[in-house]
Amino acid sequence: MYRTDAAPKDDAAPKDTGATSAVNPLAATLDLLGDRLTLALLGHAFVSGATRFNRWLELTGAPSSVLSDRLNALTEAGVLERSPQSEGSDRHDYLLTELGRATWPILVCIWGWQREWTAEGAWQPDLVHDPCGHRGPAIVRCGTCHAPVTAHETDIDMDAEAVWTVTSGARRRSKRGPARGAADEDIQFNAVMEALGDRWSGAITGLALAGTRRFARFRSALDISPTTLTDRLGRLCEARILERPDDSGREYRLTHRGRALFGVFVFLIRWSVLAFPQIPGPLRVRHLTCGNLLIPELQCRGCDGPVDPVSARLEPIAPPPRSVAATPRS
Ligand SMILES: [Zn+2]
Ligand SMILES: [Zn+2]
């Protein structure tokens, strides 16, 4: 259902209309990608060229049933495709599709944010721009006017009717129990996962970027219980993504650190448009400087040139030694 190539219209159409009217593309995107292990799998595909189950198993240390669950979800979503390792073989490589390759700037922004805002940032893959040799995070620019863009130069419209239902996080957790697998030990995504990691947090951070501040407003936009919402808002405050300017009121706003996730979100929103081209998304980002809807691109801080998978590469950094607590259980 995430595929960009439309299914045959005639027989599928009536059923699809009913099914897709409830889809919130960004919530569905967070549902799929706002997951520690999923991001780790994609990261290893981009950085190490991983295409095989055993390679990901070795790189992530995730339990094989959980890994296989995520690879299946990514394949169903059209992010990966299976290709036989040799003719007649029942072993498969998992290759990134075009939609899969389009997650590259999301990961680049996540790692860039971590480098600038978190202690573990030094262990994230290093972005190297080949034309000029610059190393380090890229900036976001407008694909139409090419001016660099931050949250301040944009206006994010929110569809007030859109309901953000996030389901698979809860489903996966209840199925797997509280232990979320060894992927929790993957240092690559620890801090950013506070903002994206359980999907609800991602939806809340997205709504906050669109200007939502009041508890009641978050509550009406999200199909979420007040208890869960209070819990997630509290966790986002602890993670210094949100803050409460006034302790007596129930208002929350993004910190500078939270606002710096703008790049991650504009690329998530962009990806949701590619994945669900027929369905209007809940958030629309307009670049105020030129007045156009923002089509984000990455720009090199060294030479101002475009940064993409062709002109740039990600160099792996050796992770720090794992703590005793993080030693995989056997
Ligand atoms: Zn522009
Ligand atoms: Zn450059």
Residue by residue, DSSP assigns 221-266 as HB---HHHHHHHHHHHHHTTSEE-S-TTS-B-EE-HHHHTTHHHHH
CA 90 / ligand 2 centre spacing (Å): 43
pLDDT, tens only, 118-134? 877 777 888 999 999 99
Is 215 part of any domain? yes
- Mean pLDDT highest for which of 141-150, 153-162, 272-281? 141-150
Is 146 part of any domain? yes
Residues facing 222 on adjacent strands: 164
CA 321 / ligand 1 centre spacing (Å): 43
CA 233 / ligand 1 centre spacing (Å): 32
CA 306 / ligand 2 centre spacing (Å): 8
Mean pLDDT of 247-258: 86
Q: Which of the residue ranges 169-178, 182-191, 237-246 would you say has the lowest mean pLDDT?
A: 169-178
Is 325 part of any domain? no
CA 212 / ligand 1 centre spacing (Å): 24
pLDDT, tens only, 44-98? 999 999 999 999 999 989 999 999 999 999 999 999 999 998 888 888 999 999 9
Residues 6+ apart with CB under 8 A from 42: 33, 74, 79, 96, 100, 103, 107
Query: Which ligand does the CA of 155 lie closest to?
Result: 1
* Residue among 321, 296, 322 at smallest CA distance from 148: 296
Distance CA 36, CA 196 (A): 9
Is 202 part of any domain? yes
Number of domains composing the chain:
1
pLDDT exceeding 70 applies to what percent of the chain? Answer: 78
Which residue bears the tokens 């703590």?
A: 323
CA 290 / ligand 1 centre spacing (Å): 4
Is 151 part of any domain? yes
Distance CA 246, CA 71 (A): 44
Count other Cβ atoms within 10 Å, centred on residue 126.
Answer: 17
Tokens coding 243: 């803050």
CA 34 / ligand 2 centre spacing (Å): 29
Cβ atoms of 299 and 176 closer than 8 Å: no
Q: What is residue 74's DSSP assignment?
A: H
CA 153 / ligand 1 centre spacing (Å): 9
CA 261 / ligand 2 centre spacing (Å): 22
pLDDT of 42 reads 95
Domain of 158?
A: 9-317
CA quadruple 203, 205, 209, 212: dihedral sign: positive
CA 116 / ligand 2 centre spacing (Å): 18
CA 120 / ligand 2 centre spacing (Å): 25
Is 285 part of any domain? yes
Is 324 part of any domain? no
Query: Which ligand does the CA of 294 lie closest to?
Result: 1
Is 329 part of any domain? no
**296/197: higher pLDDT:** 296
Residues 6+ apart with CB under 8 A from 119: 191
Query: Which ligand does the CA of 298 lie closest to?
Result: 2
pLDDT, mean over the chain: 81
